[in-house]
């Protein structure tokens, strides 16, 4: 692992780790502001604000951003599990779970990743089995203290696990992708497609709940726009593509 990838990994861990409580506050409210904020609307606004920042950064980096028509099927295929399903499911499920429980369930992803790898004919090395086994044991120990609380929200827990499984599948597809687009351009166009879907879902399902955005929700939206969509996704896809499984 190079110094660059190590720094990216540390920053990504911090940004994503902090985002769980930030996101929970954004969609579930505070003691003084108990009214939940529409989750899909939250996600659509966050992405809508983050995309121009990501586009500007990539332009400054002189990344070619053209998406040829022939690449769109691959963009759609990769966006569906990596971003569309992930973001739609997580932001809705987190309203019914604590941020800690949601994070634990989401980070079962390495276990699902190993399972998808075996399904695709990979032979995991001993160190991979050991690492995933340790991660799975850690998740199981954490969840063992939460089972009684999770049973009160079984649908949210199951959908969060489904999101983790889809994220793992998307990561495998990304590793095997033969797209000729620059990786960061691919991230941009997957994000654009996801924003279109989120905006359509928010408009169709939550329009009657739209209102003035409280200050604590706006803070969460800005954090997601800059931290998650302008930085974390690009960093994650770079690491997923360049680091060994």
Q: Which of 171, 136, 153 is nearest to 101 (CA)?
A: 153
Section 119-141 average pLDDT: 75
Model pTM? 0.86
pLDDT tens across 42-62, in order? 999 999 999 999 999 999 999
CB of 39 closer than 8 Å to CB of 187: no
**What pLDDT score was predicted for residue 130?**
81
Alpha-carbon distance of 139 to 56, in angstroms, equals: 38
Task: End-to-end CA distance of the chain: give it in Å, rounded.
Answer: 12
Give me the mean pLDDT over the 2-21 stretch: 90
**Torsion 240-135-81-100 (CA) sign:** negative
Name residue 33's beta-bridge partners.
30
pLDDT digits (tens, 9 = 90+) for 197-214: 999 999 999 999 998 899
**C-beta atoms surrounding 143 within 10 Å:** 16
Give per-residue burial for 167-200: e unless 16+ CB within 10 Å, then b: bbbbbbbbeebebebebbbbbbbbbbbbbebbbe
* 162 vs 90: CA distance, rounded Å: 10
How far apart are the C-alpha atoms of 83 and 193, rounded to whole Å? 9
Euclidean distance between CA atoms 135 and 132, whole angstroms: 5
Q: Per mean pLDDT, which range of 32-36, 87-91, 217-221 is the poorest? A: 32-36
Q: Tens of pLDDT along 166-225?
A: 999 999 899 888 899 999 999 999 999 999 999 999 999 999 999 889 999 999 999 999
């Amino acid at each position: 692992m190079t110094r660059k990838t190590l720094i990216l990994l540390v920053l990504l861990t911090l940004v994503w780790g902090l985002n769980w409580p930030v996101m929970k506050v954004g969609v579930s409210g505070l003691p003084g502001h108990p009214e939940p904020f529409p989750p899909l609307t939250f996600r659509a606004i966050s992405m809508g604000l983050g995309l121009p920042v990501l586009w500007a950064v990539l332009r400054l980096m002189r990344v070619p951003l053209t998406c040829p028509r022939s690449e769109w099927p691959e963009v759609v295929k990769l966006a569906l599990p990596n971003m569309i399903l992930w973001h739609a499911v997580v932001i809705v499920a987190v309203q019914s779970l604590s941020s800690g429980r949601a994070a634990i369930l989401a980070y079962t992803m390495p276990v699902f990743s190993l399972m998808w790898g075996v399904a695709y004919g990979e032979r995991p090395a001993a160190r991979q089995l050991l690492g995933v086994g340790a991660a799975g044991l850690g998740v199981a120990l954490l969840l063992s203290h939460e089972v009684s609380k999770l049973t009160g929200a079984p649908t949210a827990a199951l959908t969060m696990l489904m999101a983790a499984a889809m994220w793992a599948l998307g990561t495998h597809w990304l590793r095997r992708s033969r797209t000729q687009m620059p990786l960061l351009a691919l991230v941009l166009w997957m994000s654009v497609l996801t924003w279109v879907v989120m905006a359509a879902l928010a408009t169709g399902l939550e329009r009657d709940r739209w209102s003035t955005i409280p200050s604590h929700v706006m803070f969460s939206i800005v954090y997601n726009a800059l931290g998650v969509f302008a930085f974390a996704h690009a960093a994650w896809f770079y690491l997923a593509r360049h680091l060994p499984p």
